[in-house]
Amino acid sequence: MTISKPGLRPESPNFSSGPCAKRPGWSPQALKDAPLGRSHRAKVGKARLERAIELTREILHVPAGYRIGIVPASDTGAVEMALWSLLGERGVDMVAWESFGAGWVTDVVKQLKLTDARIIEAPYGELPDLSTIDFDRDVVFTWNGTTSGVRVPNGDFIPADRKGLTICDATSAAFAQRLDFSKLDVVTFSWQKVLGGEGAHGMLILSPRAVERLESYKPAWPLPKIFRLTSGGKLIEGIFKGETINTPSMLCVEDYIDALEWAKSVGGLDGLVARADANFAVLDRFVQASSWLGHLAVDPATRSNTSVCLSIVDPDIAALDGDAQATFAKNLAAVLDKEGAAYDIGAYRDAPPGLRIWAGATVETADLEALLPWLDWAFATQKAALKAAA
């Protein structure tokens, strides 16, 4: 089958799942008022950090009693701070269905060496049986599996009367999916995901229950300075008022604020969720009609509206061995990159071969619509090349 090369390219071909596309209309000029060359502890610097926290609370609808802190090392740093500071007081259930969740399992079992850790897993494309989680224990899980495209549909599986803490990595969910904070004690994310901010900074949100644990429990292991959230048995409140543990980039802070202000302009959380849902719908309709693409996420109720992970289900390609399938998928992504039609849409390195297309709120629906003919063209050309080489 021969398909003509499409004539229209996406205006922005940035479909990476992190760092994600900048908000529509962004330019460096948006950061012209950043207090560069100034201390983050100066009045002007602290005010911008506080503004970032205030806007985060407003847009995500974070309850008043929850603390919001800006921490180093992106979402990874935020999760690690929570794991090392909070776990060990009781047993923990580690829930994993993709590579980042599996990474937290490794940290808890092999680095913290917690012996009372239950691992509840599922393969790529599926959710574990959430009914098997014991919420009398602490629970660590991702809300949205960035590398599998599988998310929890909602927080209904978490009981309100839980005894343990729920620690949720929400980095590809926050600002595109509705987080039920009443069911979450720790929420983490990074700026470079849904809002397309710059890297290296993470967000750590703590419920009153998490604060109580921090102030009443001391881990058996030493904590490096960069992980310490308490001093003298009391929460370091300054962290949650813009007094960061280490020096943040004020340029990145300004960029995050710019993204948050844009989020307000499109209707806040409701507008962001609607944009991501509309983007997913474009891809979903294409996949449903496609003879060669399928969703990696098996259950439609668990399919992510941000990191949309796709499998190549064409019978000829599916019949290839794993290495050959991976090579085909990589070549498909590479030709789209070369054509300037789509950047960075290959599957995550640990995930099954396929494509991963970011559909979060900063992506324009028109760009996804323009991408679709290119996907068919790239597949047809790569399959023809494969047959010619056989």
User: 4 lies in a domain?
Assistant: no
Res 390: pLDDT = 81
Q: Is the pLDDT of residue 6 over 70?
A: yes
DSSP codes, 298-314? SSGGGB-SSEEEEEE--
User: 8 lies in a domain?
Assistant: no
Residues 251 and 279 in one domain: no
Residues 336 and 256 in one domain: no
User: 5 lies in a domain?
Assistant: no
291-323: pLDDT as tens digits:
999 999 999 999 999 999 999 999 999 999 999
Residues 222 and 82 in one domain: yes
User: 2 lies in a domain?
Assistant: no
Res 1: pLDDT = 58
Res 198: pLDDT = 96
Question: Residue 284 maps to which CATH number?
Answer: 3.90.1150.10
Q: Is the pLDDT of residue 76 over 80?
A: yes
Arithmetic mean of pLDDT, 209-232? 97
Q: Is the pLDDT of residue 48 over 70?
A: yes
Among the three residues 264, 286, 314, which one is the final residue of a domain in this structure? 264
Alpha helices (runs of H) in the chain, residue ranges in sequence order: 43-60, 74-86, 99-106, 208-216, 250-265, 268-289, 315-318, 322-338, 365-389
Res 352: pLDDT = 97
Res 330: pLDDT = 97
Q: SS3 for 166-209, per residue?
A: EEEECCCCCCCCCCCHHHCCEEEEECCCCCCCCCCEEEEEECHH
Residues 244 and 276 in one domain: no
Query: 374 falls in which pLDDT band (50, 70, 90)?
Result: very high
Range of the domain at 85: 32-264
Return the closest-CA partner of residue 377 out of 335, 324, 325: 335
In this structure, what token pair is assigned to residue 166?
Answer: 């729920």
Per-residue burial over 119-147, b if 16 or more Cβ lie within 10 Å, else e, is: ebebebbbbbebeebebebbbbbbbbbbb
Residues 256 and 316 in one domain: no
DSSP-based three-state secondary structure for 344:
coil
Q: Is the pLDDT of residue 143 over 80?
A: yes
Average pLDDT value over all residues in the chain: 97
In this structure, what token pair is assigned to residue 384?
Answer: 């023809």
In this structure, what token pair is assigned to residue 326?
Answer: 């991976």
Res 362: pLDDT = 98
Residues 278 and 244 in one domain: no
How many helices (H) and strands (E) are present in the chain, helices listed first?
Answer: 9, 14
Residues 194 and 294 in one domain: no
Query: 263 falls in which pLDDT band (50, 70, 90)?
Result: very high
311-359: pLDDT as tens digits:
999 999 999 999 999 999 999 999 999 999 999 999 999 999 999 999 9
Among the three residues 247, 264, 281, which one is the final residue of a domain in this structure? 264
User: 179 lies in a domain?
Assistant: yes
Residues 57 and 126 in one domain: yes
Query: 3 falls in which pLDDT band (50, 70, 90)?
Result: confident
Res 375: pLDDT = 98
User: 310 lies in a domain?
Assistant: yes
Residues 201 and 276 in one domain: no
Residues 279 and 250 in one domain: no
113-135: pLDDT as tens digits:
999 999 999 999 999 999 999 99
238-254: pLDDT as tens digits:
999 999 999 999 999 99
Residues 184 and 273 in one domain: no
User: 1 lies in a domain?
Assistant: no
Number of folded domains that form the chain: 2
Amino acid, res. 216 = S
User: 3 lies in a domain?
Assistant: no
Q: How many CB atoms lie within 10 A of CB 14?
A: 18
Among the three residues 234, 264, 294, which one is the final residue of a domain in this structure? 264
Residues 272 and 259 in one domain: no
What global pTM score does this model have? Answer: 0.97
201-211: pLDDT as tens digits:
999 999 999 99
Percent of the chain with pLDDT strictly greater than 70: 100
DSSP-based three-state secondary structure for 70:
strand
Question: Residue 197 maps to which CATH number?
Answer: 3.40.640.10
Arithmetic mean of pLDDT, 272-291? 98
Residue 348: what are its φ and ψ, rounded to 5°? -60, 150
